[in-house]
Amino acid sequence: MSTQNAAPIPVTLIPGDGIGPEIMESAVEVLAALGAPFVWDRQLAGLAGYEEKGDPLPEETLASIRRTRLALKGPLSTPLAKGYRSATVRMREEFDLFANVRPARTIVPGRYEDIDIVLIRENLEGFYVAHEHYIRIGDDPRAAAMSGGVNTRAECRRIARYAFEYALRNNRKKITIVHKANVLKVLSGLFLEEARNVARQYEGRVQVEDRIVDACAMQLVLNPYQFDMLLCTNLFGDILSDQIAGLVGGLGLAPGANMGEDVAMFEAIHGSAPDIAGKGIANPVSLLLSSAMMLDHVGESQLADRLRKAIELTLTVDQVRTMDLRGKATTREFTRALIARLG
């Protein structure tokens, strides 16, 4: 179905840092070739925002997202253990992007075949609230560090309902609730309790089980095929989402979305890779697959399926792959090959 006459859909476009502008250029070009009905409002965040505007999340960027309610974001740089706070985390908080959706599906055959797992991660609570401080011992004011996590019943119910509704919409059969309630009996126990309460409302429609997080991580390696969907708190979901990406070849082959009640942000889930920035060898697939998720979100599922199929054929039939996928193609060469497939 052609969308050439579809009403244009404004999207806040955040190229990001490091390799971000390179892979975003690829995504914009591919989406144009696909006929996607997006019009872009380019904005800054992360290190680029900090260097140009003095803020890793400038007010102009926030205003744009408030207006469009839709964003496509490249990777953003965040200093380790010092400096400014993650702009991505701040955007999640600002726009109540409570659900992180991380699918992992095999495209390029590798160590595992036919992986198809979706992880739903609570995005706003847990230890990521960053209630942290140092503790003085003797003469050392930074002798110890303390961090507190927060889980609310309301938010646990909201993310659980989102996961079960996602399962129904996408014909998923089973949800595994991931927790550490054997040790974190209150913080993680509350999440497990509320997720089980929500699960009762879907009895007979979606199977449910629960796993302690360390056992789940081991079983994902030993037998990932036993899992269909994972429902996780913020910290555990952050870790396990990268693990399931590893099952399908790495972060360069996995998409991600941050979903709120009326705002959605789609992103490349890997880092900004400053060591290869400007060399023209970055892999744009993560951002392209996230763009396909954005197409689904705006009701353009036929275009999304075309894009995903073209990516698969470019990688597997044409064997055009970037260096991280044991290929020799540049970012530009992969983009051209993908556009040829779309044609």
What average pLDDT does this structure show over 306-313?
A: 98
pLDDT at 289: 98
Residue 2 clears pLDDT 50, i.e. is over it: no
Domains of the chain, by residue range, sit at 1-95+263-343, 124-240
pLDDT at 78: 80
pLDDT at 308: 98
State the helix-helix crossing angle for 213-222 and 234-247, rounded to 10 degrees. 10
Of the residues 17, 41, 238, 296, only one is catalytic, namely 238
Q: Are 50 and 80 in contact (CB under 8 A)?
A: no
Q: Which CATH superfamily is domain 1-95+263-343 in?
A: Isopropylmalate Dehydrogenase (3.40.718.10)
Helices and strands in the chain: count of H runs, count of E runs: 11, 12
Q: Are 27 and 332 in contact (CB under 8 A)?
A: no
Of the residues 50, 128, 162, 166, only one is catalytic, namely 128
pLDDT at 311: 98
Tokens representing 83? 């400096």
Of the residues 180, 202, 296, 324, only one is catalytic, namely 180
Of the residues 96, 116, 242, 318, only one is catalytic, namely 242
Residue 294 clears pLDDT 60, i.e. is over it: yes
Q: Give CA–CA dist 186/182, Å, rounded.
A: 9
What average pLDDT does this structure show over 110-133?
A: 91
Q: Are 168 and 205 in contact (CB under 8 A)?
A: yes
Query: Is 114 an active-site residue?
Result: no
What average pLDDT does this structure show over 63-67?
A: 98
Contacts of 185-194 spanning 24+ positions with Cβ under 8 A: 187/126, 187/149, 187/150, 187/151, 188/151, 188/233, 190/151, 190/153, 190/156, 191/122, 191/151, 191/156, 191/233, 193/156, 194/153, 194/156, 194/157, 194/160
| DSSP codes of every residue in 236-269 | HHHHHHHHHHHHTT-GGG-EEEEE-SS-EEEEE-
Residue 88 clears pLDDT 80, i.e. is over it: yes
Residue found by looking up tokens 């400038």 in the block: 58
Residue 266 clears pLDDT 50, i.e. is over it: yes
Of the residues 114, 140, 214, 305, only one is catalytic, namely 214
Assign domain 124-240 to its CATH architecture: 3-Layer(aba) Sandwich (3.40)
pLDDT at 130: 72
With bands split at pLDDT 50, 70 and 90, how would you rate the model's confidence at 127? Answer: confident
Q: Give CA–CA dist 147/165, Å, rounded.
A: 33
With bands split at pLDDT 50, 70 and 90, how would you rate the model's confidence at 298? Answer: very high
Considering the chain, what percentage of its residues have pLDDT values greater than 70?
98
With bands split at pLDDT 50, 70 and 90, how would you rate the model's confidence at 3? Answer: low
Report CA-CA distances (Å) from 264 to 194, 223, 228.
Answer: 25, 32, 23
Q: Are 117 and 230 in contact (CB under 8 A)?
A: yes
Query: Is 275 an active-site residue?
Result: no
Query: Is 328 an active-site residue?
Result: no
| DSSP codes of every residue in 134-152 | EEEETTEEEEEEEEEEE--
